[in-house]
Amino acid sequence: YGGDRSKIFVSGHSAGGYLAMMIGLDKKWLLKNNIDANDIAGLIPFSGQTITHFNIRQEKKIAETQPTIDEFAPLFHVRADAPPLLLITGDRELEMLGRYEENAYLMRMMKVVGHKETRLLELDGYNHGMAEPAFPLLLNEIKRITSKK
């Protein structure tokens, strides 16, 4: 329909953030449709789980407090050539289930593997319901990335 594939950004909140990271970091999901995940202009998850999602851990009878990093975790798929990644979470003292710390670890591991465009923003005073104040940050990130192309 005339859209520009180089300007596609993927975002989501909580489980949606997890899914955004999974399709952007684990290339197998989009490859099924002959799409290279590196064609995504940017990933901007809001408070996404970076370890294996708690629903999958529950299905495997893994305790909620047992962090797991396997093929179902965005952290398992860190890579230097991934699209730009802006991680946004609520306040580390108010967020759910260590969400800030998971995202901080993903940021660190992306940097360790050589990814140059991973950033983490923590929204002080906001809990897991932090999407509303995150939207202007998402728009600013889209403007920042598209202005470079």
Rounded to 5 degrees, φ, ψ at 56 are: -65, -40
Domains within the chain, CATH numbers bracketed: 5-148 (3.40.50.1820)
Residue 97 has pLDDT above 90, yes or no: no
Closest CA to 88 of 41, 37, 140, 52: 140
Q: What is the pLDDT of residue 85?
A: 99
Tens digits of per-residue pLDDT, 103-141? 999 999 999 999 999 999 999 999 999 999 999 999 999
Q: Which pTM was predicted?
A: 0.93
Task: Please give the pLDDT value at position 55.
Answer: 87
Residue with tokens 């970091």: 25
Length of the chain: 149
Distance CA 143, CA 44 (A): 13
**pLDDT band with cut points at 50, 70 and 90 for residue 148:** confident
Could you report the per-residue pLDDT of 41-58, keeping only the tens digit for each? 999 999 999 998 888 889
Which DSSP string corresponds to 80-126? Answer: TTSPPEEEEEE-TTTSSTTHHHHHHHHHHHHHHTT-S-EEEEEETT-
Start-to-end CA distance of the chain, whole Å, equals 21
* pLDDT score at 13: 98
For residue 14, count other CB atoms closer than 10 A to its CB: 19
CA distance 91 to 70: 26
pLDDT, tens only, 4-26? 878 999 999 999 999 999 999 99
In the prediction, which pLDDT does 66 show?
Answer: 87
